[in-house]
Amino acid sequence: MKTATMNRRKFLAMMSAAGLAGLAPGISFSREQMPVRQIPGTSEYLPVIGLGSTKPVGQIAERGTGPIAGVLRALVQNGGAVVDTWPSDPSNDEAFGQVISEPDLRDALFIASKIDRTGKREGLAQFSDIQRLYQRETIDLMQVFNLTDIKTQWATLQELKASGKARYIGVTVSSASLYGQLADFLAREKPDFAQVNYSITEREAEQRMLPMLQDKGVAVVINRPFMNGDYFRKLGDRPLPDWAADFGCESWAQFSLKYILPNPAITCVLTETTKPKHMAENARAAFGRMPDEAQRARMRALISTV
Ligand SMILES: NC(=O)c1ccc[n+]([C@@H]2O[C@H](COP(=O)([O-])OP(=O)(O)OC[C@H]3O[C@@H](n4cnc5c(N)ncnc54)[C@H](OP(=O)(O)O)[C@@H]3O)[C@@H](O)[C@H]2O)c1
C-alpha cells in the first residue's frame, strides 16, 4: 500500500472506514506512511511533521516558485501534509496559491493560515484575501496570530467555523512571554488547535503549557523547532554524538525533532525550510525509533553545554 502518495482526504477516509480511529498516537501504518496523530475529539489524523512556509514563500519574487514547489513535494512524498502559512506579500502569496493548487498538491495538503490584524473588518478582509490567494473556499485551520486582538478575531474565527469556511480554529504563540495570556484564553475558550514554540533549546512549554493543552483536548502544533535557525548557528560544526544513532538520528535537525516528537501532547511539528533536501531530512525524523526518557535526559545534558 503506497499511502505516501495517496491523497490526504482519501487516506483519512480510509482510516476511518477501516475502524482505525482511536489508535495510539504516532502509530505507523507502513514504511512509506509518516506516523500520524489524532486531532483530539475527531476521527481525523495528521502526519507529525509539517512545513512552516514563511521563508520559501518570501523568496518567490527573487527565486521563483521552484524552491517552494520542491519543498512541498518533498513534504508530501515523505508522507507529510500540514503547511502553516499566512499572506504577507500579495504577489508572492498569489504565486504560492497557484503552487498549492496544482493537481498533485491540492488535496494532499492541510492548509493552516492566520489572522494577524486588529479590527473585525480587517480580520474578515484578511480571510477573504486568504481564500482568494490560496484558491480555497474552505481553509483547514484558521488561527489568531500571537493572540492579536484576540476577543475580536476569536469571534470572527468562530463565525468562519460555523459557516464552514474554516474546518478548525485555533491560536498561535511563539514565545513563553505569551503563555500567561494563552492560559487565560484557555480558561475561557476551547480552541481546536494551539500553536506553541517548543524545542530541545526552548523547553518552557514542557512544564505547564503542553500538559494543559493535552488535558483540554486541544491539538498542538509546534513552531520554532530550530529557533528559526539559531539552533544550528549555536551548534556550529560540532559533530553529532555517536549515541544519536541508537534512536535512528542522522543529523542535528533530527536530534531536535526526535526530542520533540515523543511528547504525547503534540500533534504536529512545523519545520521551516527553503530546501527540499532539508524538508526530506526533517520529515524522516518522524520515522523509526524515538529516544526514551533516559536518552532525552542525555540529549538535554548535551545541549546545555552548547
Ligand atoms: N506566532 C506564530 O504564529 C509563529 C511564530 C514563529 C513561527 N511560526 C511557524 O513555525 C514555523 C517554523 O518555525 P521557525 O520559523 O522559527 O523556523 P525553524 O523551523 O525553527 O527554523 C528554520 C531554520 O532552520 C533551517 N533548517 C530547517 N531544516 C534544516 C535542516 N534539516 N538542516 C539545516 N537547517 C535547517 C532553515 O534554513 P534552510 O532554509 O537553509 O533549511 C531555517 O533557517 C514557521 O515557518 C511558522 O509557520 C509561527
Q: Provide the CA 243 distance to its chain's centre, in angstroms.
A: 28
Ligand 1 binding pocket includes 161 (Cβ within 6 Å): no
Residue, of 212 and 32, whose pLDDT is higher: 212
Global confidence as pTM: 0.92
Q: Is residue 270 part of a domain?
A: yes
The predicted pLDDT at position 259 comes to 98
What count of Cα atoms within 13 Å lies in the side-chain half-sphere of residue 181?
17
The CB-based long-range contact list for 90-95 (8 Å cut-off, 24+ gap) reads: 90/129, 90/133, 91/60, 91/61, 92/57, 92/58, 92/60, 92/61, 93/57, 93/129, 93/133, 93/134, 94/133, 95/60, 95/65
Ligand 1 binding pocket includes 232 (Cβ within 6 Å): yes
DSSP codes joined into one string, 93-153: HHHHHHHHTSHHHHTT-EEEEEE--SSHHHHHHHHHHHHHHTT-SSEEEEEEGGGTTHHHH
Q: Is residue 148 part of a domain?
A: yes
Q: Which pairing describes strands 110-115 and 139-144: parallel, antiparallel, or unpaired?
A: parallel
Q: From the CB of residue 293, how many other CB atoms can be counted at a distance below 10 Å?
A: 8
Q: Is residue 305 part of a domain?
A: no
- Of all residues in the chain, the percent with pLDDT exceeding 70 is 90
**Across-strand partners of 217?**
none
List, for residues 112-128, the tens digit of each pLDDT value.
999 999 999 999 999 99
Residue 15 pLDDT > 90, yes or no? no
CA of 145, closest atom in ligand 1? 3
Residue 60 alpha carbon to ligand 1 centre in Å:
17
List, for residues 68-115, the tens digit of each pLDDT value.
999 999 999 999 999 999 998 999 999 999 999 999 999 999 999 999
Beta strands in 152-218 (DSSP E): 166-172, 193-197
Structural domain harbouring 224 = 43-237+261-289
Residue nearest (by alpha carbon) to ligand 1 atom 17: 228
Q: How far, in Å, CA of 142 to CA of 165, rounded? A: 9
Average pLDDT over residues 145-174: 98
Angle (deg, nearest 10), helices 90-100 and 66-77: 40
Ligand 1 binding pocket includes 229 (Cβ within 6 Å): yes
Say which residues have a Cβ less than 8 Å from residue 304's Cβ, sequence separation at least 6: none
Q: How far, in Å, CA of 146 to CA of 90, rounded? A: 21
Please give the tally of structural domains in the chain: 1
Ligand 1 binding pocket includes 240 (Cβ within 6 Å): no
Q: Is residue 300 part of a domain?
A: no
Residue 40 pLDDT > 80, yes or no? yes
Residue 8 pLDDT > 70, yes or no? no
CA of 278, closest atom in ligand 1? 31
Q: What is the CATH number of the domain that holds 173?
A: 3.20.20.100
The predicted pLDDT at position 60 comes to 97
Q: Is residue 186 part of a domain?
A: yes
Rounded to 5 degrees, φ, ψ at 194 are: -135, 140
Q: Is residue 79 part of a domain?
A: yes
Q: Is residue 5 part of a domain?
A: no
130, 100 in Cβ contact below 8 A? no
List, for residues 205-260, the tens digit of each pLDDT value.
999 999 999 999 999 999 999 999 999 999 999 999 999 999 999 999 999 999 99
**Across-strand partners of 174?**
none
Ligand 1 binding pocket includes 228 (Cβ within 6 Å): yes
Residue, of 3 and 163, whose pLDDT is higher: 163
Q: Is residue 25 part of a domain?
A: no
Question: What b-and-e string marks burial along 37-70, b requiring 16 or more CB atoms within 10 Å of the CB?
Answer: bbbbeeebbbbbbbbbbeebbbebeeeebebbbb
